[in-house]
Structures are given as structure tokens and as C-alpha cells.
Structure 1
Amino acid sequence: MSESRRPRRSTESGYACGDETRSKIIDAAIYLFGQHGFAGASTRDIAMRAGVNAPALQYYFDNKEGVYRACVETIADEALQTLGPALSQARQLLERDVPVRALIDAYIDLQCTIADLMFMKGRETDRRLFFAREQAGGEPAIGSQILRERLRAPMNKVSAALLARITGRSEQDPVTVVRMFSLVGQFLAFHTARESMLSLLGWSDIDGENAEFVKANVSAQTRTLLEAWHREDKSARR
């Protein structure tokens, strides 16, 4: 567990249910940082939404920057819990000499797992807005650094390695990198342009059968592209 996620003081000192209180503060902060950005979300508003007094934020996190860091670490941990099995399976396949079809299946499985994160019911709106502001820039740099090191780097490394094996290009080849981000973008569009997509399809949400419909169609597109890129590599080798 990282230092900022560890309770700063024993609950014997007067703050009972420390983990529960920290979680309430983090959830409230993710919502407000997503709605108003780091600069626009005050510690007073975070405390009020969490149902705690303002000194509790300093007690657990030192300052607003500490709260923001804890939010990012929480989001990264949640994502890795979901992505972990798919990443592990892909790494095992990459260590072996397996058919290209198995590598394509692993890529699509990882892609669908990422989609599951995007479509997850419950607190997805808060996290989507938080991510959008972090990606747009202007938020504390520590957020992008943590997400890059703990989440994006391992995910991109595995994705690029799979693509390299499938297409015969190196992981560092700009074509591999562009293809990797374009494939992720298929699902990301449903995440960032959610309201437009829901309006066009006449849906109220992306869940249940709707989520499976999107995943099935995007997966079919991905399989077609991966198989075509693999055939290009085979033709080039002749």
C-alpha cells in the first residue's frame, strides 16, 4: 500500500472508522474534482459532501494536494483490480510460442476489460469526468504521473507487445503506437462522447445488453483490423 493511502494516525487517537471516513472523503473529492477541477473544488466543499468536518481532510491527507493524490491512487487501484487478470493472461501468452489467433483473442479480451471499466455502473460518471480533466491538462501533474506509471504504462506495454507479435512490427514502431491508440479510441469514444452516443442510439445508458452490443461490434472491428495487419506482415515477408 502506498504511503498516502495508509491511515496517518491510529484510530485510537479519536477518529474511529478511519478507512470508512477516508473513502467518503475520496469519493466526495473525485466527484468535486471531476465537476469543478482541482482549482475549483475547495476542501470545505469536499468535507461538506463527505459529511465530515474540515479538519478531517488535514488529519488524513495533510492538504488538498494529498486528497487529489489519494483520489488518483484509488482510481488506479480500482482499475488494476479489474484489468489484472487480462494483463496477466496476456503476459503469459507473450512468453510462449502461441498461434496468432490466441494473441488476437488476448488483445480483444484486454480491450473488452477496459470497456467494462468504462461502462461500469455506479460511480462511473464521477471517474469519467475526473479522467477527462486530467487528460485535458491543468490538473496537478502528480495525477498524470501516477496514472502513467501504475496504470497506463503496464497496459500500453502489454498492448504494444501483443500488437508487435501480431503484426510483425516492433513495439516502438510509430505505426504500432498509432494503431494501439486508435484501437483503444474505439471504446474511448463511447466513454468521452457518452451523451451524444446515447442520443444517437436512443439509449438511456450503456449497461446490460447495450454494453454487450457495443463490445461485440467493436471487438469484431478490432479482430478484422488485427487479422488484416497480420496478413500484411505475412505478405511482406514473402
Structure 2
Amino acid sequence: MNTAKRLRRTTEGGYARGDETRQRIIEAAVELFGEHGFDGASTRDIATRAGVNAPALQYYFENKEGVYRACIEELADTAWKNFAPSVERAQTVLRENADTATLIDAFIGIQEAMADSAFAKANKPGRRMFFAREQAGYEPESATKILTCKIREPLNEVSAALVARISGRAADDPVTLIRIFSLHGQLVIFHVAHRSTLSLLGWKSIDPEKAEMIKSTIRAQTRTLLETWSRERDDAQAAGAEKARKQR
């Protein structure tokens, strides 16, 4: 697989022009890949929408897969900027052996960042469909590898560590992993099933007020589940301690 080329610039003024052209191509490609999928979007259509000639795509990206990879890289980098503060906060509370309430708040903080990212894409149909197609497994595997490395692995790792600490199970316990997947899935469904969401709720769009309604509902559900698992952990530990006491 060829990776996206670095810009070939010869003058100082060429930096700005080259960056602008490259960015315009990426933005056009994201929209077209979202609308038509990787196979359905042609390099000619991408060039036309970007307002450049077709050879410009080869100049900057070599081929269509190079364009696609550049789109994924940029979207992943942008998403990580949104997630990084909440992930770093979660890592800190884990290192400090924070109490359960703080661990729960840290997990919900990650969900908040995910929600903000998802609802921002909701108003950009091309980007929303771009990710929906990748989630469904219809696009090049290179996309999944990049997103897994840059976004999903660090998010899943810290989420599993938080739920493990809250519930008393191991981070790699299948139950822990199913739990984090289902908790985050509460948000994903509103992203990938956008049309069904609007139809069910009778909405024309998800504006900031409606997004906050969804977020607050999911926030409450998540907190209830995490607090329940925490109580189950405490009950199990108490039962174990009582059993050990009686055996002495």
C-alpha cells in the first residue's frame, strides 16, 4: 500500500498554496467517500469537487488509496485532539488510585468527548457516512488499522481499565470488554443510525439542545450501570471477607 506523499515545495510561498490545495482535496474526498464509498468515488470526481485538475491527486497522494489514507489520518488526528484531555484525565485518576466516584466521572468524561465528536459529525453528513461505512466494514482495511491504532486502542484500553477498577473484574475479562463496548455503543447508535434516530424522535436534525438531551440521558444510564457494578464489587468483596473470617 502506498502512503500519501509529502508535499513537493520549492518556495516559501508554495507551502501555503500546497497545504491549501491538499486540504481542499481531502475535504472533497471525505464528502465523496462518505456519499459513494471508496469504490464509488472516482479520483476525477474528487478533483472536480476540490477544484483541481486530476493530476494534482497523483502529485499529492499517488492514487485513490493514498487519498483515502490521508483522509483517515486527518480525521483520526482531529478526533484524538478531542479525546486526549479526557483520556489523560482517566489515566491520571487510575495512577492515583482514585475513589470509585472519581473513576466513574472519568469514564463519563470519555463518553462526553465521544458524544461531542459524534454530534459534531451529525451535522456533516459526508463525515458521518464516511465513518459509518468504515464501521460497517465496507471500506479498505487500512482505514480500520489506522483508526484502531490512533483512536480505538487507547480509548478501549483506558475505558477497560476504568470499568475493571469500578467493577472488580480484570481489564481483559470478556464481561468487562462487553460492558465498555455496550456503554460506548449507546452513543455510536445515534451516529450510525442517524436517519432512524430522527424518524423515531420526530426530529429534523440534532441541534445542540437535542444533543444535550441525548447526552444527559446516556450520562444518567451510564452512571447507574457503573454504580451498580461498583456495589456488586463491594458485595462480592464483603462476602469473600466474611467467608474467609468463618474459615479461620
- TM-score, scaled relative to structure 1: 0.94
Map of 2:9 onto structure 1: 10
- Preserved contact between residue 29 and residue 71 of structure 1 (Cα < 8 Å): yes
Q: In the TM superposition, what is the alpha-carbon distance from 1:117 to its structure 2 partner?
A: 0.3
Equivalenced residues, count: 236
Who is 2:137 aligned against? 137
Answer yes or no: is the 8 Å Cα contact 2:198–2:205 preserved in 1.
Answer: yes
Aligned match of 1:160: 160
1:18-62 Cα deviation digits (max 9, x unpaired):
111111101111111111111111100000011100010011111
Which 4+ stretches in 1 moved above 4 angstroms? Answer: 3-6, 13-16
Distance in 2 of aligned mates of 1:139 and 1:5: 17
- Note if contact 2:121-2:127 (Cα within 8 Å) is conserved in structure 1: no
Q: Report matched runs for 1:1-238 at 5 Å.
A: 7-10=6-9, 12=11, 17-120=17-120, 124-238=124-238
Per-residue CA distance 1:61-119 (angstroms, 9 max, x = gap) = 11111101000001101100111111111111110121100000010111011000000
Further displaced range: 210-219 or 126-135:
126-135
Q: Does the C-alpha gap of structure 1 residues 175 and 71 become closer, same or farther in structure 2, counting only changes over 3 Å? A: same
Q: Structure 1: any 5+ residue segments left out of the alignment? A: none
Counterpart CA distance in 1 for 2:200 and 2:123 is 23
Whichever residue aligns with residue 60 of structure 1, its letter is Y
Shift of 1:4: 5.3
The farther-off stretch of 69-78 and 126-135 is: 126-135
Q: Deviations over 1:153-188 (max 9, x none)?
A: 001111111111110111100000000010011111
Q: Which runs of 5+ in 2 are unaligned?
A: 239-248
In structure 2, how many angstroms separate the alpha carbons of the residues matched to 1:11 and 1:82?
A: 34
Seq. identity, %: 56
- CA–CA distance in structure 2, aligned partners of residues 4 and 93 of structure 1: 38
Going from structure 1 to structure 2, the CA distance change for 1:124 and 1:217 (only over 3 Å counts) comes to same
**Alpha-carbon deviation of 1:7?**
3.5
Supply the distance in 2 between the matched residues of 1:227 and 1:65 (Cα, whole angstroms). Answer: 45
How far apart are the structure 1 equivalents of 2:122 and 2:223?
Answer: 30
Provide the C-alpha distance between the structure 1 equivalents of 2:12 and 2:209, rounded to a whole number of angstroms.
49
Q: Aligned AA for 1:80?
A: W
Q: How far does residue 236 in structure 1 lie from its aligned partner after superposition? A: 1.1
Point out the more displaced range, 129-138 or 163-172: 129-138
Q: Is the 8 A contact 1:30 1:126 kept in 2?
A: yes
3-state SS of paired residue (1:20): helix
Of stretches 152-161 and 11-20 in structure 1, the one that deviates more from structure 2 is 11-20
Equivalent residues of 1:112, 1:215 under 8 A apart: yes
Computing the radius of gyration from Cα coordinates, the structure with the larger value is 2
Measured after TM superposition, the shift of residue 124 of structure 1 is 3.1
